[in-house]
């Protein structure tokens, strides 16, 4: 699967909405291509007390729920279609789901794809 297809899937789940006076969701969408060839998507949930989570976390949770944990490609987009690099928490989270996730290709800008390893150059652990 090409990144333009993965981008379209991430963009398709973006649907910003107010859930309550304290929570909003859907302003960012993410899509993960897993090793089984399936695409898993998710949206962010933002809460007033910072207990929400990123779209990448939601997509990874859907992937793990389906029995997968090896990421081949990842992209996240906002409501305007801008590509967003994963935050540090998401980078770390996804890197720990499978040792080979450090080789996952991550689209960080329109014409820029890097590996998760490049986004985490100085690992704090020696697990991998």
Q: Which tens digit of pLDDT belongs to each residue from 55-89?
A: 999 999 999 999 999 999 999 999 999 999 999 99
Residue 92 lies in a domain: yes
Residue 68 lies in a domain: yes
User: Residue 124 — very low, low, confident or very high, per pLDDT cuts 50/70/90?
Assistant: confident
Whole-number Å distance between alpha carbons of 30 and 41? 5
When divided into structural domains, the chain yields a total of: 1
Residue 125 lies in a domain: no
pLDDT score at 5: 98
Q: What is the pLDDT of residues 34-49, one digit of tens each?
A: 999 999 999 999 999 9
Those residues with Cβ within 8 angstroms of residue 84's Cβ, 6 or more apart along the chain or in another chain: 28, 76, 77, 78
Residue 128 lies in a domain: no
Residue 72 lies in a domain: yes
pLDDT score at 50: 86
Q: What is the pTM of this model?
A: 0.95
User: Residue 126 — very low, low, confident or very high, per pLDDT cuts 50/70/90?
Assistant: low
Range of the domain at 104: 3-119
Per-residue three-class SS string for 44-92? EEEECCCCCECHHHHHHHHHHHCCCCCEEEEEEEECCCCECCCCHHHHH
pLDDT score at 127: 64
Give me the CATH number covering residue 43.
Answer: 3.40.140.10
Q: What is the pLDDT of residues 81-116, one digit of tens each?
A: 999 999 999 999 999 999 999 999 999 999 999 999
């Amino acid at each position: 699967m090409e990144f333009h297809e993965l981008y379209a899937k991430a963009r398709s789940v973006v649907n910003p909405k107010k859930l309550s006076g304290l929570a909003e969701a859907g302003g960012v969408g993410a899509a993960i291509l897993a090793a089984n060839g399936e695409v898993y998507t998710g949206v962010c949930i933002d809460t007033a007390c910072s207990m929400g989570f990123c779209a990448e976390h939601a997509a990874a949770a859907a992937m793990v729920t389906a029995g997968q944990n090896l990421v081949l490609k990842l992209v996240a987009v906002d409501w305007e279609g801008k590509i967003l690099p994963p935050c540090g928490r998401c980078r770390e989270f996804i890197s720990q789901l499978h040792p080979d996730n450090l080789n996952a290709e991550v689209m960080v800008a329109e014409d820029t794809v890097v590996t998760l390893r490049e986004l985490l150059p100085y690992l704090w652990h020696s697990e991998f």
